[in-house]
Every structure is written in C-alpha cells, then in structure tokens.
Chains A and B, each alone.
Chain A
C-alpha cells in the first residue's frame, strides 16, 4: 500500500507543478499568513477632510475592505483581524482590556465580514461606530497586548504575522510617559514573537511626527543597515491603498537559484512573480444534501481483470507515424532533464537587441538572496549598476526547476524608484524576460498595401492626441473576476441581485465620439471612398453550412494505411470514432487520429509486411 500512496502523491505533485507554473505560485506553503488591522477610533479619526474629503476613519475602512476583498480573491486562507483602540466600549476575548474593541478576531475573511466593514463606511458608518464603540481613552499598550492574545489564541501555524496601526495621532497618550513606556514594551514583546508592526500614519493638521513616539513602536525596515525611508503621512486614499497593498502581501520566492557567471562564481538569487494572471477559481464539488465539500479519489485499474494497477504496471506511450512508442514513467521525466536548476550567464547584449515581439510568457523578477550566499547582494548590485549604465541586458539560460527543459531569458536591469512620499514604486533588480525559440514563431504572409500619406497620418495624429490618457497598469479591473465575486457575494449574503460592476475595459464610446467631433469624418473622407462601408461583412464569411460528411470503411482503411487521416476534418473523424466504437482521450484532432490509428490497425489487420 505504501507504494500506492507514493504513486498518487507523485501524480498530484505533477498536477500541482503544472498549476504552479501557470500561476507562478510554486512556493511551499508552510503556514498561514496573518494580518491584524489595529485602527485608532478616537474622535480625531472621524474629522472630515476639506472639501468633503472622507475622514481618516472612512478612508481606513475602505482600505480594510479592499484588503478583505483581495484576500478573498487571491489568498482566502490568510487570517485577518480588525481591532479598534481608543474606544469607549470594550469587547475582547476575556474582556480584560478596557477601550479595546475586537471587531473581527483572526479568521479567514468571508462575505459577512465584508458586509460588516461596509456598515462602518461613510456618514452612516461613523454614526454606527459612535453608537457601538464610541471614542474614549487610549492605551496602545493594552491594544497591543490584546492583539498579542489574538495571535497566541490561534491554533494554526502562522508563517507571517503582521500588524498595521492606522492612526492620525502622533502622541496617542498625550505625553503620558507611563502609557508610552507600556506600549513600547508591549510592542517589543510582539516583535520578539515575530510580529512585524507597521505604521500607516494618516494626515493631521500640523503634520505627523513619527519620531515623537511611533519610531520606537514599529518594526525596523527590512534592511537593518539603514534607518529606512521616512515616509510622509498618507493624505489620499490611493496612497494609503498602495502603501497597505505593498505590505499586505508577503513576498515569497517562486524559486531560489544560483545565477552562475562562470565556474565557481555563483550568485544566489530569488525569483519572484510580480504579475500573475488572476483566474476565476475552479469550482469545488459539494454533496447535494449537506453542501459539504467532497474529496475525489482517482484509481487506475485493469479493464479486463478489474484489479488496481501499481505504478510498475503502467507505462507511457505516444503515437507517431502509425507506431506506438512506449516508455517507462521515469524515462518520461528523464527526457525533460537537461541540467540542474539554475541560471547560466551566456553573455551580454545591447538593449536594442531585445525585441518587443519576443514575448511568450509574463516576466518574473530577480533579487539577490544574501542569506544563501554571502556576497550575492554586492555582486548583484554591481552587475545591476553596470548593466543599467551601459544599457545592456544579460542573456541567460534558465532552468527554473528540476526536470524542466531550458529557456533563454534576458535579464533587464531595473533601478529603484521612489515616489514623493519616499515609498518604493519600482524595486531594484532584474526583470527576467523569457525569449522565444525558433519553434515559437509563425510564418506569416503579410498583405501589402500602399502606405498612408502624411496628410492622412497627420489627421490620425489629431485623433490620437484627443484621446490621450496616462496609462497605469493597475487601472483596469478584470470584469470577469469582479462579476464572479459579486455573484458569490450576493449568494452568500442572500442579496436580491449582485451589485453592478463597472466594466473598466469597455470603451467610453460617447465620450470618445464627443471628443473627436468632426475629426472622424474628416479622417474618413481622407482614407475611405464615398460608398465604402468598413462595417460590411466580407462576402467570404457567408458560407453555407456544409452537409454532414461520412467516410466509408474502405476510404478510412486507405487513409490509415497511407497515414493521411489528418486530411479529414474533425467532425468526420468524430463520426468515424463513433462508427467503430473507438474510445478517445479527448476531442482534439490529434487525439482522434491517434485513437483511430491504433484501433483501426487492429480492426483491419493491416498487413505490415
């Protein structure tokens, strides 16, 4: 039985690996991430900004909501808590702390929680907060202690613990040095147990002075050598959102590899996926009666004897040129192995040699791993600096993991950029751009047309400049995913109908039309003849549906013999499969052909001599 388990474990692993490749999330999960929002609920937080700007409290709630949502979408297993301090009322596990209100204890966020947060937003939210919690005395020490209890009450293993303090008061205890000291001590305790404390300080009249108190409470920046960036307080929702988002996700390396510059010169680097296509999650199978999730078990057995097949009783095969070629399962893996995982430097090329259209996969990001090989960061930094200065990229051969065939990649230098508030916009490191092989190009036969005249081009330029906008990569939400979650939200909360989504990638046709005004007609007059209608369908598309076609047994026999099955269309092949009762692995053309060849060779007993 032991062999059995090992076998299936391997198979699952294969799937996981494939998925991992797709989403770029291949890191091992060793525990849950947790995040506690510790929010100041004092009166100051509720003061509305100028010109009807939302209050700091309102802004915070919006950010908390968006984090809840993003956790639900991208990492539902993370634990999140929301705790208010400086409240009049108290509510915490043993009610041992005054003026601390645990609104949500550490748990996976769900629909109900999002709804709870929603009720705290806006004018009504402020009112509700005043009624249920009120504003009272402040003891940050107690609040931190309470949070520490939240962490220790969790029975699950936590891999990353973070606490974010949202406040606009730089002296929460109004100069009470005893309370200040208490808070510092408690913060120290928390940090010792591995909790990272961040400050999300918000704008207040007169500016927020971190050095008055909070500098001793928060965790030191990641690189200990420097004091870290002195960030300005957040004034805008956008900034706050960005800042929270940057900290909220724990960055994990997809892989830790050696970047080999030459024999004996290995720099340790981590590969990070900074952009991964978010997909609608796959459905979970539930038992109809109880709505509880069911597990699936897959078994492989012998069709004739019905006995379970051990891994050693299974081989893998492919069909080429009418022949079935059989390999052992481990040979299938061995074929894919070229070398051990790692990056091998081939050489350098000027940046202009990196072609825009050489794109086959989203890029990943490279950053040194000083704690694997000491000295990596320095060499990496020197390489980055020089590549950037000389405007070259490093060409590397990349084997991302065991038994992966190699790919070539361009390491493009990216230097660090920070915004006015000293927050990092782009991190320092190399972007890894995967390059295509010869097989990845398709031969096209482009049509040739006369080029446009300068007058025509200039008119188009006018159109373009009317429709200019500043592109930001995070400006567009995925309407498919958004709609999916709105639907779930509506079902989970028994809402009548899902909330409407705004499809941000829909062209704003009316706006465009009114902006362009007469330009469109002017352009059309320049390029199109009078009665030309670009909307009309080209006549070639109006083909009638073909009548159903079948092949006779004799024709099929000839096709199998000559290996010309591929000339038949998919519907015909499907029909033939039905006709002869051939089982197929799928409905792809190749799969149909393979299945037909194997069973028809037998059927016709085609003479091989």
Chain B
C-alpha cells in the first residue's frame, strides 16, 4: 500500500570549481569561490538535517593535486574526488568549512563532468537509485574542449543523469531565452557582458546541453538578492512518507465502500528529543536519572516500586484500580472503523469546533474502480447538498474512537472526503462573555471608518493589473521557523564549537513579519487609528519591582524563574484580596503578620508588637505544635523586617530568640528524670526535638 516510487533514492554529485579564476572578483564583490562554497554548504546542511537516505559525493576541480579513478597518462588532471557517494554527515560539513580553499590550477570542466558521471555509474551499481544528478558550480573560465561534447551528452542521456549548473553571473536576457524552468532571475538586467572568451565558449556548450532538455541552470550572483540561494537556505521541509490506512466506510450494515486514508495535514514535530549528557565528558551514559517514591510524611519514607499500586481520583475519593482490572473493565470496541452516524448540514459544523491536530483524506481503495465510483457518488452528493457525514472513526483497536465530520472535497484531478475530529460533550466549555453591544463601547462612525481604511490598507489579497488574485502572505508556504532556527543553531555548534549561537538569519526574520508593501501602505491609517482610539494602559501592580526587592536578584535571572516569582507575588496579593486580616490571629500568625505588613494598614511597630504578644501566648501553651509555630513566626518576622528596613531591628529579634530558647532550655533541662516535663504534655523526646530545631534555626539565622 505504499506508493512504490517513494522508496527509491537519489544520488547526487556536487562538482565544484576551486580553480584559480574562481577567486577573482571585482572590488567589493564576493569572489565566485566563496559564493559557490556557500551554496554547497547550505545544500549539504539541508541534506544532513533532513536525514534523507539520499547519497552525495563531492568532486573538486582545479585542485593542485589529482585524485580520481580516471587519472591516467596526463588525462583528467587536477580533479579530486573529495568524497565518494555516501549519506552526507557533519564530517563533510566540517571539511567543507575547513578544508576547501581556492587553489591555483585550472581544469577542464567537461573532464570534471566525466569524472562525476563515472563516479555515479560505478558507485550506484547494485543500489536502487532512481534519480541521478550532477550539480556543477563553475565560472566556466577554463578552456574546455568541445570535441567530446556530443558523446558526453549521449552518455548523460543513457544513464538518465540530470545536470544542473550554478554560474556566478547573470545571463543576457536574449541569450538565455530557451524555456528553462529553474531560471530564477530573468527580470534583472544582464551582467554577462564582461565575459572572457573561455566563458563565452563555455556558455555556448552549456546552451547546447540545455537544448537537449535535461539541464537546469541557476545563477548565484549575490546571496542577498538571489532567491536561488534562499531556496537552499531553507532546510528541506520535513517530509514524511504518508502511511496508508485501509478501511471501509459503512452506512448501516449493508452498504460499505472500500477506502484508504492518509494524513494530509498534521502538526509536524521534530523527531529528535534532547538527550541529557554529562557536561564534562558529554557522554549520555555518564548520566542516570532515577525516580524514587516516598510517602508524604515527615520522614519521606521511601517506598519500593513493588509496593506501589495505581489508583484514580474520583472527586474527593481515591480509588485503587489495578492495571489488570482497568484493562478488563475499560471501554472496548471492535477496532478500525469509519461508520456513518448520519448526515448533517455543513453549516452546523463550525470551523472553530474542529478538534484534534490533523486532517485525514479518505480516497477510494487502490486499484478498485468500483469503490472509486461509489465514493465519488457520496462525495458529489454531499457537495451538491452542502452536507457532511458525521462518522465514528477508530484508528485501530487500541486507540480511542472519535466522532468527526467527513467533508466532501472535489479538486480538479481528484476527489476525496476530508475527515476532521469534532468535540465530545466533555471537551466543551460554555463560557459566557459580556455583550459588546453596549452603549459605552459602541464605536462611533468615525472610529468605524478608521478601521475600514486600516483593513483596506492591509488587505493581503489583491487583484493585480491583469485581474489576477495575488496573495502577499501565505503561511502555508513558510517553513516552520522553529525548525529552521533549530537547525541553524545545531549546524553552527557542530561546525564552530565553542562560539556563541548565531543571530537569526535575516531572511527568516523577514518571513515572519509584515510584507514591506503592507508596512508602507498602512502607515497613515494606523496613525489615524491611534488618534481615533485612545488606549491607556492600566497601571499594573508593582510586581517586578517588589520581586526584585524581595529576592534581590540581578537582571540576568532566567525568564522562567521570574514568572514563578510573579506567581508567588500574585499568591500573596490574593491573600490580601481576601481582606479579612486585621490583626495577628492565632490560627496562622505568621501568615497574618506577612499580610498585615504588605497591607501597610497598621504601622510596622504595632504589627511586630502584636506578633511578639502572640508568640508569648503560644509559648505559654507548652505544646510542641505551638513551639513550632513560634519558630515560623520569628522567621516571618525576620524576613519581613529585612524587606521593610533592609535589616531587622536586632534587639527585638534576638530577644524573641532568647525568649524561645529559654523556654526550650527549660523544657530540655527541666525535670529530666520524669518521662514528661512538668506542667506540660511534652515528652522528653519531643522536648529534645524542639530544642534541637530552635538551636538549628538560631545558628542558621546567625549565619545569614
């Protein structure tokens, strides 16, 4: 069920001129060599990240040395097979970056072509390659002997090899007329004037090959202008071979149509995950992650994996529910299905209620014309009635069934049903929002007309002078920028380790912004909008300032952390919002204390006094719980006073500790022989505990 031709591979030889003339350039221009190197780099980069199985070889000519299988009796000199046919990798990229330099010889580009052809033919033997390609990058500035041209052309034809030239100059408009599909910059004025004699005769030959119809030609005049390079810059978009899903569309028990489904649109994700490695050795095997389980008690008692069972929450209850039971009791169904529940008006299925993250196209089964006709009848009937089929869809027995809509889709060359998942009742949230039809909000006519002209100026779809529609901005033609950026950074790190990550490439940045035309056009209407619609930012709570104050962090803190801090601040503000705290109570004196300090409704001193008073009261209870509470109170006191006064009023602070310590000491050294301390319900061990925690807190607070 897989389309057969997609399993075949392609083989490509990059053939680059590194000879003497390639490093010549007019002042201020990049030499052809550098441009050619860029093209090759981008191309290989693209192949590496696309992880295609396509194989690639690199042949250089004009090299000082000679290294190729045809090297014999002064023939095929100064041509080097740099890399034989294999899947491209980073080594190759690093080599291109570091080992390929302009050299001092010149070689016949036709000879180089022959070496490439020979390489392709010998190295693809026994491999299933369906596309053979040679890409030649040269300025044609060498004497090439045209004697064998016809033989070469004949050989190319027989081997089914296609040829692509990248030349460093633009061709004259009238010189290149022969319909070349890949030509990219025909609109520019030609700069082919100052060509040398060799180049002119070379061009003649290129044109000759072109006439044979299996050649394409691109020029790489300047990297910034030529979209030929830009095309290469975009890392090959991720292509996945679509998986066929054969099934039967059923209407009731008696009518079924054999169909096959393919994912047509789905949110593509990067295949690879980040792995964790040791920073020093950069080996993943040196790092191990381990998860342990523990009870939610004070000692965090560890629990063995075998002693863990699974359960589920049912509201406030937790119900133990073993995997075996779960499997036995869970919802089961008959597996794969595409069954019609009924038909509904298309208008009843709203676009914003599409669920899931894919669109599946359903075709009639392969090689089944009858199914084709039957499905066509359904598609056309639905289309004419403006209806959809509401269906039950289950991918297989293990996956959960869905409800969805099958829309008719009739294209010029095919017909299909498009399946989209629809919501279940449990998925929907019925929010109501205040009406905007409201006297205070109703925009005036002047305001509405300002919006009108903004829309006019920012229409992305316009008719051009020929009455043809032109869309200035098509997101579905943009490669996912996240992938592009990801690969750019990975490439950089691989090729130039130890240097900081590069900035985003300008062309990528530009694709994510308003088109230049629109930016110009909407300038005036935007100004008008600004005049007509006063917008004032409501002053925000001084979140960031306080968080910086409290935590004393420098500005370089990570975003994520700041967010967390803000959340914490919100939390406290929510406390305040409760508005019920007027004095330091006994339930949670520390929290009350913090809230009161924040509210600033009472003087700091007074709140402190309340707290001290509360601590005394707590201690008189002679109970472990209250002692612990006192400790949190004192901690709160310290933390708040640091915030308010930068440093705590030392005397008071120490007094509190002393107070507490005295009680603890008394507890500890009190009547030691008895099992219980006199006058209290605290046992000896508890007293010990209290003493230790007070002591530790005191030591810690001194240290900070």
- Is the A/B pair a real complex? yes
Query: Nearest chain B CB to A222's CB is how many angstroms away?
Result: 5
Given the interface contacts A349-B459, A446-B416, A469-B342, does A375 sit within 8 Å of B535 by beta carbon?
yes
In the bound complex, do residue A321 and residue B89 qualify as a contact, i.e. CB atoms below 8 Å apart?
Answer: yes
In the bound complex, do residue A371 and residue B538 qualify as a contact, i.e. CB atoms below 8 Å apart?
Answer: yes
From A371, which residue of chain B is reached at the shortest CB distance?
A: B538
A-contact 0/1 string along B490-513, CB 8 Å cutoff = 100110000001001000000011
In the bound assembly, the distance between CA atoms of A402 and B514 in angstroms comes to: 21
Question: Is A128 interfacial (CB 8 A cutoff)?
Answer: no
In the bound complex, do residue B355 and residue A292 qualify as a contact, i.e. CB atoms below 8 Å apart?
Answer: no
Question: Is B575 interfacial (CB 8 A cutoff)?
Answer: yes
In the bound assembly, the distance between CA atoms of A223 and B435 in angstroms comes to: 8
Which of A141-149, A171-179, A183-191, A267-275 lies at the interface with chain B? A267-275
A-contact 0/1 string along B372-412, CB 8 Å cutoff = 11111110111011010010100000001111000101000
Q: Which of A10, A379, A461, A471 has the most CB of B within 10 A?
A: A471
Cβ contacts under 8 Å, A303 to chain B? 285-288
Question: Is B184 interfacial (CB 8 A cutoff)?
Answer: no
In the bound assembly, the distance between CA atoms of A521 and B351 in angstroms comes to: 35
Query: Nearest chain A CB to B86's CB is how many angstroms away?
Result: 5
Question: Is B251 interfacial (CB 8 A cutoff)?
Answer: yes
In the bound complex, do residue A473 and residue B428 qualify as a contact, i.e. CB atoms below 8 Å apart?
Answer: yes
In the bound complex, do residue A291 and residue B311 qualify as a contact, i.e. CB atoms below 8 Å apart?
Answer: yes
Given the interface contacts A483-B330, A527-B374, does A374 sit within 8 Å of B255 by beta carbon?
no
Chain A residues 411 to 436 lying within 8 A of chain B, measured CB to CB, are 412, 414, 416, 424, 427-429, 431, 433, 435-436
From A459, which residue of chain B is reached at the shortest CB distance?
A: B377
Chain B residues 276 to 303 lying within 8 A of chain A, measured CB to CB, are 276-280, 282, 284-296, 300, 303
In the bound complex, do residue A374 and residue B538 qualify as a contact, i.e. CB atoms below 8 Å apart?
Answer: yes
In the bound complex, do residue A563 and residue B272 qualify as a contact, i.e. CB atoms below 8 Å apart?
Answer: no
In the bound complex, do residue B426 and residue A507 qualify as a contact, i.e. CB atoms below 8 Å apart?
Answer: no
In the bound complex, do residue B436 and residue A380 qualify as a contact, i.e. CB atoms below 8 Å apart?
Answer: yes
In the bound assembly, the distance between CA atoms of A205 and B53 in angstroms comes to: 78
Cβ contacts under 8 Å, A397 to chain B? 512-513
In the bound assembly, the distance between CA atoms of A368 and B315 in angstroms comes to: 34
In the bound assembly, the distance between CA atoms of A358 and B358 in angstroms comes to: 9
A-contact 0/1 string along B1-15, CB 8 Å cutoff = 101000000000000
Question: Is B431 interfacial (CB 8 A cutoff)?
Answer: yes
A interface majority secondary structure: mixed
In the bound complex, do residue A286 and residue B311 qualify as a contact, i.e. CB atoms below 8 Å apart?
Answer: yes
Question: Is A327 interfacial (CB 8 A cutoff)?
Answer: yes
In the bound assembly, the distance between CA atoms of A55 and B334 in angstroms comes to: 41
Which of B139-147, B159-167, B234-242, B601-609 lies at the interface with chain A? B234-242
In the bound complex, do residue B381 and residue A288 qualify as a contact, i.e. CB atoms below 8 Å apart?
Answer: no
In the bound assembly, the distance between CA atoms of A144 and B452 in angstroms comes to: 51
In the bound assembly, the distance between CA atoms of A467 and B422 in angstroms comes to: 19
Cβ contacts under 8 Å, A300 to chain B? 276, 287-290
Q: Which of B239, B314, B376 has the most CB of A within 10 A?
A: B314
In the bound assembly, the distance between CA atoms of A289 and B309 in angstroms comes to: 9
Query: Nearest chain A CB to B183's CB is how many angstroms away?
Result: 23
Q: Which of B49, B494, B535, B537 contacts A265 (CB 8 A)?
A: B535
Question: Is B625 interfacial (CB 8 A cutoff)?
Answer: no
Question: Is B124 interfacial (CB 8 A cutoff)?
Answer: no
Question: Is B439 interfacial (CB 8 A cutoff)?
Answer: yes
Question: Is B151 interfacial (CB 8 A cutoff)?
Answer: no
B-contact 0/1 string along A375-403, CB 8 Å cutoff = 11111111111110010100101000011
Given the interface contacts A110-B317, A294-B296, A321-B48, does A348 sit within 8 Å of B331 by beta carbon?
no
Which of B554-562, B614-622, B644-652 lies at the interface with chain A? B554-562
From B345, which residue of chain A is reached at the shortest CB distance?
A: A471
In the bound complex, do residue B448 and residue A385 qualify as a contact, i.e. CB atoms below 8 Å apart?
Answer: yes
B-contact 0/1 string along A251-291, CB 8 Å cutoff = 10000000001111111000011111110010111111101
Chain A residues 298 to 319 lying within 8 A of chain B, measured CB to CB, are 298-304, 309, 312-319
Question: Is A464 interfacial (CB 8 A cutoff)?
Answer: yes
Question: Is A230 interfacial (CB 8 A cutoff)?
Answer: no
A-contact 0/1 string along B237-271, CB 8 Å cutoff = 11110100010101111111110001111111001
Q: Which of A327, A386, A475 contacts B455 (CB 8 A)?
A: A386
Cβ contacts under 8 Å, A245 to chain B? 430
Q: Which of A111, A380, A460 has the most CB of B within 10 A?
A: A460
Cβ contacts under 8 Å, A344 to chain B? 513-514
In the bound complex, do residue A470 and residue B348 qualify as a contact, i.e. CB atoms below 8 Å apart?
Answer: yes
In the bound assembly, the distance between CA atoms of A172 and B458 in angstroms comes to: 59
In the bound complex, do residue B441 and residue A381 qualify as a contact, i.e. CB atoms below 8 Å apart?
Answer: yes
Given the interface contacts A110-B315, A350-B461, A436-B475, does A412 sit within 8 Å of B351 by beta carbon?
yes
Question: Is A440 interfacial (CB 8 A cutoff)?
Answer: yes
In the bound complex, do residue B448 and residue A405 qualify as a contact, i.e. CB atoms below 8 Å apart?
Answer: no
Which of A36-44, A56-64, A85-93, A484-492 lies at the interface with chain B? A484-492
A-contact 0/1 string along B350-381, CB 8 Å cutoff = 11111111110101111111111111111011
Classify chain A: how many residues form its interface, as a range: 35 or more
Cβ contacts under 8 Å, A356 to chain B? 351, 407, 409, 418, 420
Q: Which of B291, B348, B471, B530 contacts A353 (CB 8 A)?
A: B471
Q: Which of B356, B369, B385 contacts A450 (CB 8 A)?
A: B369
In the bound complex, do residue B321 and residue A488 qualify as a contact, i.e. CB atoms below 8 Å apart?
Answer: yes
Cβ contacts under 8 Å, A13 to chain B? 560, 564
From B270, which residue of chain A is reached at the shortest CB distance?
A: A318
Given the interface contacts A265-B526, A402-B560, A405-B482, does A246 sit within 8 Å of B431 by beta carbon?
yes
From B533, which residue of chain A is reached at the shortest CB distance?
A: A379
Question: Is B534 interfacial (CB 8 A cutoff)?
Answer: yes
In the bound complex, do residue A451 and residue B90 qualify as a contact, i.e. CB atoms below 8 Å apart?
Answer: no
Q: Which of B254, B401, B431 has the most CB of A within 10 A?
A: B431
Cβ contacts under 8 Å, B300 to chain A? 295, 297
Question: Is A49 interfacial (CB 8 A cutoff)?
Answer: no
Which of A95-103, A118-126, A533-541, A548-556 lies at the interface with chain B? A533-541
In the bound complex, do residue A435 and residue B370 qualify as a contact, i.e. CB atoms below 8 Å apart?
Answer: no
Cβ contacts under 8 Å, B303 to chain A? 287, 294
In the bound complex, do residue A276 and residue B429 qualify as a contact, i.e. CB atoms below 8 Å apart?
Answer: yes
Question: Is A94 interfacial (CB 8 A cutoff)?
Answer: no
Which of A232-240, A330-338, A571-579 lies at the interface with chain B? A330-338
In the bound complex, do residue B90 and residue A349 qualify as a contact, i.e. CB atoms below 8 Å apart?
Answer: no
Which of A69-77, A132-140, A162-170, A208-216 lies at the interface with chain B? A69-77
Question: Is B578 interfacial (CB 8 A cutoff)?
Answer: yes
Q: Which of A278, A488, A505 has the most CB of B within 10 A?
A: A505
Question: Is A564 interfacial (CB 8 A cutoff)?
Answer: yes
In the bound assembly, the distance between CA atoms of A226 and B403 in angstroms comes to: 40
Given the interface contacts A372-B538, A438-B237, A480-B401, does A157 sit within 8 Å of B426 by beta carbon?
no
In the bound complex, do residue B274 and residue A318 qualify as a contact, i.e. CB atoms below 8 Å apart?
Answer: yes
In the bound complex, do residue A505 and residue B403 qualify as a contact, i.e. CB atoms below 8 Å apart?
Answer: yes
From A478, which residue of chain B is reached at the shortest CB distance?
A: B424
Cβ contacts under 8 Å, A392 to chain B? 455, 459
Q: Which of B319, B418, B435 contacts A491 (CB 8 A)?
A: B319
Q: Which of A283, A450, A482, A585 has the most CB of B within 10 A?
A: A283
Question: Is A608 interfacial (CB 8 A cutoff)?
Answer: yes
Cβ contacts under 8 Å, A463 to chain B? 251, 255, 381
Given the interface contacts A300-B288, A475-B425, A608-B91, does A327 sit within 8 Å of B431 by beta carbon?
no
Cβ contacts under 8 Å, A222 to chain B? 433-434
Which of B16-24, B66-74, B566-574 lies at the interface with chain A? B566-574
Question: Is A342 interfacial (CB 8 A cutoff)?
Answer: no
Query: Nearest chain B CB to A66's CB is how many angstroms away?
Result: 10
In the bound assembly, the distance between CA atoms of A538 and B429 in angstroms comes to: 44
Given A302-B278, A338-B481, 14 additional A-B pairs, CB 8 A: A276-B427, A277-B427, A297-B300, A317-B276, A347-B458, A353-B461, A360-B266, A361-B357, A379-B535, A381-B436, A435-B476, A469-B342, A470-B348, A563-B87
3 shortest A-B CB distances, which residue pairs? A449-B372, A405-B482, A321-B89
Supply 17 A–B pairs (Cβ within 8 Å), ascending by A. A223-B435, A225-B438, A297-B291, A318-B273, A323-B89, A325-B490, A346-B515, A363-B353, A372-B538, A375-B533, A416-B436, A431-B351, A452-B374, A477-B424, A478-B426, A523-B374, A562-B86
